[in-house]
Amino acid sequence: MTAVPQEKAAQREAIEQSGWGQPYRFLQPHNVAFWVYLLGVGGGALTMLRYFGAGASFYTPALAGGVLLFGLYLVPWLLLLRHHNRFTAQPAGLLATGFVWGGVAATFWIALPANGALLAIWAKVGGTSFAANWGAGLTAPINEEWGKALGLVLLIGLAPRLVRSAYDGFIIGAFIGLGFQVFEDVLYVYNGATQLYGVDQLGSSLRVFVTRGAAGIVSHALFSAIFCAGLMWVLGRSGERKVLRGVLTMLMAMVFHFAWDDMAGIAGGSWLIGVLPFAIAAVELIALFYVLRHAARQERAWMRELLGPEVESGVVDPALLDAVSGLRKDRKKYRKHLHSRSKARHRIEAAGDLAQEIARAGGAESAGVAHARAELVRVQQGGLS
């Protein structure tokens, strides 16, 4: 029996636990999650067609403007999320599946009818004034956060080995929330145009884009990233089960959603209405980075174990390992160590690529691993500055 070096055994265990390198396949006719997903997206698509269909021809300028503006709005979001997807590098198909769920199923299949029903209940229970002040905040955090999170649950069913950690939940949740946000914004563009009876449709689209786009920085993508990270802590699929932390994190996302939707009710007509948006946004962003930091802890540990044998062989030096598996401060320290931002970035990216190839090969040697390793050595020897 051949003894397995400790670092190699840890590497294989990290690959097994993390699911890194696993392929994603959407078409799974034998899988119940696949059909539930199709039912949700199909139902959402039909509702969307009915909603927009009646006035689509008359409100074409508003709809076209909304689709174009919020389509462009996606670009910086995707670049930002790609930057934060540095550890897991989830397949694009998986993230697209989550985005479509958030935009079509969660928005039109779940939230649109469910919100209308619950708002009617609040009006009957507390009266129209109560519903006007608090109805939105008591409705959307329940229907919309759980509706979006159902997409994460279905993705666990479709890709159980890929969706494992709180960090996976954070990234996938952000994509689901982004889909919801963009499709909801287009819906608001349409509603705005109908309220003005089609007058100045492009101007109306632009006004909605400015207000909803600015608010979107701390809206659905943020809520869902936090909520889904909490859900993954509750589920504990990676072995890191933190039920209390997960429940509190999910509640935090719902409270943020409530505060954002019922800001006028919270301010009570006082001067606070001018301050609350900025105060809530600041608290949300602090909470977001706190959750991200904790959610990424396990991913960083997996990255260290995955590159452990490369450190032993001298391909990856300890300082680079700290940078590629560490926090922002570790990458900043590495940049200072090299006295070059570009060299540090190229080496960190090359080490990350090597880790992904190792995971893809299941810890074995492959042409991809050899190429990524040679590329890292070339970069470290000054082949790229």
For residue 273, the 8-state DSSP code is G
Q: Which two tokens stand for residue 367?
A: 């042409």
* Res 4: pLDDT: 60
pLDDT cut 70: percent of the chain above it: 98
Model confidence band, residue 365 (pLDDT cutoffs 50, 70, 90): very high
Angle between helices 166-195 and 297-312 (to 10 degrees): 130
* Res 33: pLDDT: 97
Q: Are 21 and 359 in contact (CB under 8 A)?
A: yes
Mean local confidence (pLDDT), 325-349: 91
Q: What is the largest CA-CA distance in the chain?
A: 79
Mean local confidence (pLDDT), 158-186: 95
Highest mean pLDDT among 13-22, 172-181, 336-345: 172-181
* Res 270: pLDDT: 85
How far is the C-alpha of 380 from the C-alpha of 303, rounded, in Å?
Answer: 19
Run of H or E residues at 109: none
384, pLDDT greater than 70:
no
How far is the C-alpha of 146 from the C-alpha of 135, rounded, in Å?
Answer: 17
Q: Are 233 and 297 in contact (CB under 8 A)?
A: no
How far is the C-alpha of 7 from the C-alpha of 337, rounded, in Å?
Answer: 26
50, pLDDT greater than 50:
yes
pTM: 0.91
Minimal CA–CA distance to 80: which of 190, 205, 4, 177?
177
Q: Which two tokens stand for residue 227?
A: 């909520």
Residues counted in the chain? 385
How high does pLDDT run on average in the chain?
91
Mean local confidence (pLDDT), 9-25: 90
Q: DSSP letters of 172-184?
A: HHHHHHHHHHHHH
Run of H or E residues at 257: helix 243-261
Per residue in 249-276, pLDDT (tens digit) is 999 999 999 999 999 889 887 888 889 9
Per residue in 138-163, pLDDT (tens digit) is 999 999 999 999 999 999 999 999 99
Q: Are 349 and 362 in contact (CB under 8 A)?
A: no
3, pLDDT greater than 60:
no
* Res 89: pLDDT: 75
